[in-house]
Structure formats: C-alpha cells, structure tokens
Amino acid sequence: MHHFTYRDGELYAEDVAVRELAAQYGTPLYVYSTATFKRHFQAFDSAFADLHHLTCFSVKANSNLCILRLLSDLGAGMDIVSGGELFRALSAKVPARKIVYSGVGKRAEEIREALLADILMFNVESVDELRRINEIALEMDKVARISLRINPDVDPKTHPYISTGMEKNKFGLDIEQSLEAYKLAQTLPGIEPVGIDCHIGSQLTTLEPFLEALRRIKDFHKKLKTLGLDIRFLDLGGGLGITYDQEEPPHPKEFGQALVQELKDMDLTLILEPGRVIAGNTGILVTEVVYTKSTKTKHFVIVDAAMNDLIRPSLYQSHHGIAEVVPQQRPVRNVDVVGPICETGDFLARDRELPEVKSGELLAVFSAGAYGFTMSSQYNSRTRAAEILVDGANVILARKRETYADLVALERQCLQE
C-alpha cells in the first residue's frame, strides 16, 4: 500500500497535490511519502517480532539523508556497500553497531573507516578480503567482527543482473571454500568470526529460493559449531520483491512466519537487509510532457525525465506504472514514453497503453522510491532531480535540484590561468 491517491480529479502525495509540487520545485522530481515509509518499515520489521532480529535497510536502494534518518528513528540499522554509504549512515545518526558492511570490493581506506566507526560487522566475500581486514585491524590495534558471505548456488528466479546467490555470480564463497575460510579466520588475530551471511538476489517473488538457501546455511552452521565457532548472527540479506506490474510477491508476514518456523531452534540474531520492499512504492518520479510525435509505426510521448533520472527500464527492461497527474478524458493510445537523451535505449516505457497527453501536462512514474535517484547520473550533462519528502501536509526539500554550476564545480581548476 502507498499514499499516492487521486482526490478531486488529481494525484496527491499524502495531503499535497503533486501538481503543486511540480509547479514549485520543477520536474523531473522525485516525491516520497513519509507515511508509506513508516508503514512499510513497520510491516516488515514486525513480521519478525518473534525472533531476535535487526532490520538493516539497504542504503543503496535510497540513500537520501532524510530517508535514512527517518528509518533510523524507527529503529532501523543499515546495510552499506561503500565508504560513502557509511558516511551517509553515520551522518544520519545511525548507531554504528547497527551497521553491516557488504560488497565484494572494499578498499583499504573504507575498511579503516568502518573499523574506526566500530560497525557491527563486515560481510566478507573473499579470502583476500579476509586477510586484508585482518592486516588493517592489526595495524589499528583492533579486532574486526566478520561474517563470511556464503554463496549457496540457489537460483532466485529473478533478473540475471540482480541474481547474486548462484555459483556463476561474483558474490561470496561457495560452501566448501567458506568452511576453509572460517578455519583460517579462527587463526587470524585481527578477526572475530561472529556471523554467517547469505544474500541470493533482489526482486524475489516467491519464498522457495529463500528457504532453500536457508536450509543449506543451517546445515553449514552445524559444521561451524563443530569447529567451536561462536556464531551469533545470521544475515539473510534482503531481496523480497514488490509489485511493479503483475507480480504477486509474498507479504513480509508470510516471510516472517516461514523464518520463525525454520529458525525456532537456532539461538542466533537474525539480520535482514530489505531495500526495495520498504522503499520501492514510497516514491514517484514526476515528469512533464515536452512534446508528442507520431511516425508511421509509433506514437511517442517525449518527457523531461530520462534514463539518467530512472535507469531501471533501460537497464533491466523493468516495468513502472505511469499515469497522468491530472487525468483527462481522452482516447487511449499505444505509446513509447521516452526521454531527451541521445540514446535509443532512453525510455521509461515501451508499447504502453496511455491516454493521449499534451505538452505541458504531467505524468507520474510509480514505484520509483528504490533504485531511482540512487542510480541516477549526470549523463548528457543533465542536472539531477530534486527530491521531496511529504509528511501529511508538510513538504521537506530532501535534496535540492542540481544547477549547472554543480555540474562543473569539481572541474573549475581546468579554467584557472
């Protein structure tokens, strides 16, 4: 459920007319709903109330400081994958002991920053990384808490670009390698193995891949116990899907019930890393129709949002619902909704049935709260969109729209004589 509804013939974000937001802040414009964030986080987190657990929001889904602070105030921890995301999480006053650090390519300086902050643990993805964390921890006179990311070779049945738990993916260690890596970790003085990590992919619409992976991890945990390891955390990652089009993903409550059943005899703290399931339907991208045109075979709606603003349709061929902000009673046409970038791959929708629209009218692209702004860029030297957070009738400018000066701010030294 989200809080973007039609009222008096136009789209509202909670109690604010989207048309008015576009008039004040311009387009393209990301608009997020506070009420939806709260509802989604609480629905997810409460599903695991019968387990010792920590819900760590996946920062890569939506890294705006206002959002991170909102979720932290609700009790969320954070799952990070870079030093920049660590900086964002700490800036948003997220307790360091609620931060887990994932990702295959942690640099030495990023490891130092995380050790200095005293985060909860690193999710380690290779033996090389394990050795490097140990070396840096010893240099800093610290001990790094770690888990190893297990690649269980489970097919998540999702888009191949967001599948992470199969043998052919770059993530984690297979179970045989992992056992040897845990044995090595026991011998490293700068390392404290405290957890097991497993994340198999994103936008999963069935529980079976989760449960198949969990059962393999449970068997692996038994082997670790024979080594005398004190494993206290089980990080199952995120990946639960949302409805973009016709998908019917399980409700978090169903997920929670399944995990309670599977983990009832394990004395571990469960860590979950939801991103899309919390943020996905909390936001829309508002865009203005610039032109329309027709060829012998196609009708095009050309808007001011582009693949640099929302790359998911171009990158994943993903579906996002699109609707008029102020609906008009006009005939429906089959159209491509495209942006201004000089790429044929620059589109928000292809072969979509939409009512006829005219220049100057507004469209809303739904389910844009996750992997929308965070994946945006300045390609074609386009300034990135503003972000708005609506809370009832209150409007927060969560991120200002970039200016042309921002585009070149880090390059001006080239012009100095």
- CATH 2.40.37.10 domain range(s) in the chain: 4-32+280-408
Output the average pLDDT for the chain: 92
Residue 4 has pLDDT above 90, yes or no: yes
- The answer to whether the bond into 28 is cis (omega within 30° of 0) is yes
Paired strand residues for 362: 288
Residue range 81-89: mean pLDDT, rounded = 98
Q: What is the pLDDT of residue 171?
A: 60
Residues 17, 20, 24: CA angle, nearest 5 degrees = 145
Q: What is the pLDDT of residue 158?
A: 44
153-157, 245-249, 327-331, range with the lowest pLDDT: 153-157
Contact criterion met (CB below 8 Å) for 133 and 112 = no
Residue 156 has pLDDT above 70, yes or no: no
Q: What is the pLDDT of residue 46?
A: 96
Binding-site residues: 239, 273-276, 312, 316, 343, 371
Query: How far, in Å, CA of 224 to CA of 193, rounded?
Result: 10
Among candidate residues 56, 66, 198, 342, the one labeled active-site is 342
**With the C-alpha atoms ordered 74, 267, 104, 171, is the resulting torsion angle positive or negative?**
negative
Q: What is the pLDDT of residue 244?
A: 84
Query: How far, in Å, CA of 402 to CA of 382, rounded?
Result: 9
Residue range 20-25: mean pLDDT, rounded = 98
Residue 363 has pLDDT above 80, yes or no: yes
Residue 163 has pLDDT above 50, yes or no: no
Binding-site residues for substrate: 276, 312, 316, 343, 371
153 vs 164, which has greater pLDDT? 153
Residue 166 has pLDDT above 60, yes or no: no
Q: What is the pLDDT of residue 241?
A: 81
Q: What is the pLDDT of residue 202?
A: 66
Ramachandran angles phi, psi of 174, nearest 5°: -70, 170
Mapping DSSP onto H, E and C, the string for the chain reads CCCEEEECCEEEECCEEHHHHHHHHCCCEEEEEHHHHHHHHHHHHHCCCCCCEEEEEEHHHCCCHHHHHHHHHCCCEEEECCHHHHHHHHHCCCCHHHEEECCCCCCHHHHHHHHHHCCCEEEECCHHHHHHHHHHHHHCCCCEEEEEEECCCCCCCCCHHHECCCCCCCCCECHHHHHHHHHHHHHCCCEEEEEEECCCECCECCCHHHHHHHHHHHHHHHHHHHCCCCCCEEECCCCECCCCCCCCCCCHHHHHHHHHHHHCCCCCEEEECCCHHHHHHHEEEEEEEEEEEECCCCEEEEECCCCCCCCHHHHHCCCCCEEECCCCCCCEEEEEEECCCCCCCCEEEEEEEEECCCCCCEEEECCCCCCCHHHCCCHHHCCCCEEEEEECCEEEEEECCCCHHHHHCCCHHHHCC
Residues 175, 180, 186: CA angle, nearest 5 degrees = 125
* 229-281 per-position pLDDT tens digit: 999 999 988 878 887 877 777 888 988 898 888 888 888 999 999 999 999 99
Residue range 85-104: mean pLDDT, rounded = 97
* 212-223 per-position pLDDT tens digit: 888 888 888 999
Residue 188 has pLDDT above 70, yes or no: yes
Range 4-32+280-408: architecture per CATH? Beta Barrel (2.40)
Residues 6+ apart with CB under 8 A from 289: 301, 302, 303, 357, 358, 359, 360, 361, 362, 363
Residue 355 has pLDDT above 50, yes or no: yes
Residue range 372-388: mean pLDDT, rounded = 98
Binding-site residues for pyridoxal 5'-phosphate: 239, 273-276, 371
CATH number, span 103-272: 3.20.20.10
Residue 204 has pLDDT above 90, yes or no: no
Q: What is the pLDDT of residue 239?
A: 79
Structure tokens belonging to residue 406: 């921002």
Task: Name residue 44's amino acid.
Answer: F
Q: Provide the pLDDT confidence category of residue 155 given band limits of 50, 70 and 90.
A: low
244-248, 326-330, 332-336, range with the lowest pLDDT: 244-248
Task: Name residue 198's amino acid.
Answer: C
- Among candidates 348, 335, 341, which has minimal Cα distance to 301? 335
Query: How far, in Å, CA of 342 to CA of 133, rounded?
Result: 44
* 29-58 per-position pLDDT tens digit: 999 999 999 999 999 999 999 999 999 999
Residue 289 has pLDDT above 50, yes or no: yes
Contact criterion met (CB below 8 Å) for 316 and 347 = no
Query: How far, in Å, CA of 282 to CA of 40, rounded?
Result: 8
β-strands 386-391, 29-33 pairing: parallel
Structure tokens belonging to residue 250: 């399980």
Contact criterion met (CB below 8 Å) for 164 and 208 = no
- CATH 3.20.20.10 domain range(s) in the chain: 103-272
Task: Name residue 15's amino acid.
Answer: D
Known catalytic membership, residue 342: yes
Contact criterion met (CB below 8 Å) for 210 and 227 = no
Q: What is the pLDDT of residue 170?
A: 47
